[in-house]
Amino acid sequence: MEHSRNASVLVQRGEALIMRYVTFNELKQGIEEAFSPSAAKAIFYHAGKRCGARAAKRIESQEGLSDKSSILESIRQLKESQGWGLFAFDISKQDRIVVKVQNSFEALSHGPSREAVCDFIRGYLSGVFSHILGKEIEFEEVECLSKGDRFCTFVSYVPGSD
């Protein structure tokens, strides 16, 4: 079976859905209301982490990619085509990974905020990198479009690199 990367083909085949920003925002607000804002952050982070790890695994097995750069390039293209935003990965430094996301769907669906809001994407990146590096990688969102920054910037200090 051919594995399509095209978002509209995935929808036609019944393998994906299109979610409006407002729907994603309602989902987040519903969880904040039912639990608490800090619980919602943790839940979205954890769920994102599972999705990121699964995506990295799927790309390895379905697309036959094994090197870091190819997997990340595949994720960049996929997420751009799915409307998540434009991801730029900087893995040139030994001790830290920096990911910049332009037009994060999570920030755009949330709107202005005093704090960084992209916990699902932050978790997703943690899942992707934990899988491809084979160790626990956690990201922090140091800049966010919702706070008025140009990009959402995620940084991880790689354990065991100093």
Interface residues toward Zn ion, by CB under 5 A: 104, 107, 118, 144, 152
Of the candidates 119, 160, 105, the residue with the CA atom closest to the CA atom of residue 137: 160
Nearest approach in angstroms of CB 78 to Zn ion is 19
Q: Which is nearer to Zn ion, 119 or 129 (CB)?
A: 119
Q: How far apart are CA 43 and CA 57, in angstroms?
A: 21
Q: CA 68 → CA 9, 14, 38, 64, 105, distances in Å?
A: 26, 30, 32, 12, 24
CB of 43 to Zn ion, least distance (A): 17
71 vs 144, which CB is nearer to Zn ion?
144
Q: Which is nearer to Zn ion, 85 or 137 (CB)?
A: 85
- Return the closest-CA partner of residue 130 out of 58, 62, 53, 23: 53
Minimum distance from residue 146 beta carbon to Zn ion (Å)? 6
Cβ 141 to Zn ion, closest distance in Å? Answer: 6
The phi and psi torsions of 134 (rounded to 5 degrees) equal: 70, 25
Taking the least distance from each CB to Zn ion, the nearer of 97 and 144 is: 144
Closest approach of Zn ion to the CB of residue 137, in Å: 18
Q: What is the DSSP letter of 145?
A: G
Q: In what order do the strands lie in the sheet with 96-102?
A: 86-90, 96-102, 152-157, 140-143
CB closer to Zn ion out of 129 and 154: 154
Which tokens go with 87? 């991801």
